[in-house]
Structure 1
Amino acid sequence: MPRQPVHTDRAPAAIGPYSQAVQRNGMVFLSGQIPLDPATGLIVEGDIEAQARRAFDNLRAVCEAAGGTLDDVVRLGLYLTDLGQFAQVNQVMSEYFAAPYPARSTIGVASLPRGAQFEVDAILMLD
Structure 2
Amino acid sequence: MSVSPDHPYSPAKPAGNHIYVSGALSVDKDYQPVGGRREALDAALDRMTERLATVGGRVEQLVKLVYYVTDVSLREEANQQFEDRLSAARPARTFVGVPDLPYGASVEIDAIAYVEEG
CA distance in 2, matches of 1:15, 1:55: 19
Q: How does 1:103-114 map to 2 (within 5 A)?
A: 103-114=92-103
- In angstroms, what is the RMSD of aligned CA positions? 2.1
Q: Is the Cα contact below 8 Å between 2:62 and 2:114 reproduced in 1?
A: yes
Structure 2 equivalent of residue 23 of structure 1: 14
Q: Which has the higher contact order (CA 8 A, sep 6+)?
A: 2
Q: Secondary structure at the match of 1:41?
A: coil
**1:66-97 CA distance string (max 9 Å, x none):** 21211100110011111112111221232220
Q: Which runs of 5+ in 2 are unaligned?
A: none
Residues 11-58 of structure 1 deviation map (CA, whole Å, 9 limit, x = unaligned): xx68433211111212110000001212x23222x2121111111111
Q: Structure 1: 5+ residue runs without aligned partners?
A: 1-7
Of 6, 9, 33 in structure 1, the residue corresponding to residue 24 of structure 2 is: 33
User: Given the superposition, is the C-alpha separation of residues 41 and 116 from structure 1 closer, same or farther in structure 2, using an over 3 Å criterion?
Assistant: closer
Contact 2:69–2:106 at 8 Å: present in 1 too?
Answer: yes
Give TM-score scaled by structure 2 length: 0.86
Q: How many equivalent pairs are there?
A: 116
Which residue in 2 is equivalent to 1:123? 112
CA contact (8 A) 2:66 2:95 kept: yes
Contact 1:14-1:20 within 8 A present in 2 as well: no
8 A Cα contact 1:56 1:96, kept in partner: no
TM-score for the superposition, normalised by structure 1: 0.80
Off by >4 Å, runs of 4+ in structure 1: none
CA contact (8 A) 1:48 1:118 kept: no
Secondary structure of the structure 1 residue equivalent to 2:9: coil
The aligned counterpart of 1:90 is: 79
2:90 and 2:28 map into 1 onto residues whose CA distance is 26
The change in CA–CA distance for 1:115 and 1:79 in structure 2 (over 3 A counts) is: same
